[in-house]
A = this chain, B = another copy of it.
Amino acid sequence: MSLDAAATKPHEQLATALADDLSAVNDMIRARMASEHAPRIPEVTAHLIEAGGKRLRPMLTLAAARMCGYDGPYHVHLAATVEFIHTATLLHDDVVDESKQRRGRPTANLLWDNTSSVLVGDYLFARSFQLMVETGSMRVLDILANASATIAEGEVLQLTAAADLATTEDIYLKVVRGKTAALFSAAMEVGGVIAGQDDTTVQALFDYGDALGIAFQIVDDLLDYGGTKAIGKNTGDDFRERKLTLPVIRAVAAADADERAFWERAIAKGRQEEGDLEHAMGLLSKHGTMESTRIDAIGWADKAKTSLDVIPDHPIKAMLVDLADYVVARIT
């Protein structure tokens, strides 16, 4: 660990504590995305994987395994698996959203074509599948199969729920689990399973990842409307894409007739006019839904932290606790 750990961010502390493991994961990712006959594959994946994501998801797997005292080789396979699944979903998401930028760089579908994004995403899924099989753990495969189904179902649900004012908080939570929390929780869980932990511990790891992922996504959705303090992130993308996120779902539920008509026009019908985003933000403020959503996010971060109560003290456990605080720090 670095000497000035207190001054660095929790995910940077984790990256430092897990530096050797992360380096092994990066080597494995590079080796496994190679394709002798189809050089387009490493081109596309390198563009995305080398783009400097924080490797948050594979780090969760490494952290869970190390915190549980694991000293075998397979946490590296599983961390690479998790990053491949994440990268594959990003490639497919960019086709779905017709995105032009990701992590500040042009998306693969813009640089190459939708076709490459779809097929290379499929290739990464297949590669991740091979990596999991190498661990020889049927329980790991079961967890990741279920996570994959939750992710895919959540993506379809998000698509069909967009612009639908009848979207409930329950559906929102399912979308959030699909988009973010299912891979966070599976990443933690498999780290514990590969380390041979008991059911209580494995459940605690799952709960931490689930709650952290939900907090993470709610914060993201809040910041899309400026959060409590805007910090350079583009505001209003979700509004323009007519996505029903928590602050809006709650404002729609509390709307009077005039406000309902506004949401019908701007979100359900998608006939957006100049000044609509500002009007929407005014309604979120009027009904206090930014604040109530903020409180929910902090509640999920707290749940993540308390989930780890059953785990014995460990330097990495302390970093995971800090990470939960850090995820909501942008809105507190």
Contact = CB atoms under 8 A, between A and B. Distances in A.
A273 to B, nearest CB: 26
Interface stretch (A58-66, A121-129, A225-233, A302-310): A121-129
Contacts of A152: 119, 122-123, 125-126
Interface stretch (A6-14, A38-46, A319-327): A38-46
B37 A123 contact: no
A35 interface: yes
Given A96-B119, A149-B130, A40 B159 contact: yes
Contacts of A149: 123, 126-127, 129-130
Copies in the complex: 2
Contacts of A122: 89, 92, 125, 148, 151-152, 155
A257 interface: no
A151 to B, nearest CB: 7
A145 interface: yes
A1 interface: no
Contacts of A116: 156, 159
Contacts of A123: 149, 152-153, 155-156
A273 B120 CA distance: 33
Contact of A141 (B114, B126, B127, B133): B133
Nearest to A140: B133
Question: Which 8 residue pairs of A and B lie closest in terms of their CB atoms, listed nearest first?
Answer: A126-B148, A123-B152, A126-B149, A38-B156, A129-B145, A122-B152, A130-B145, A38-B157
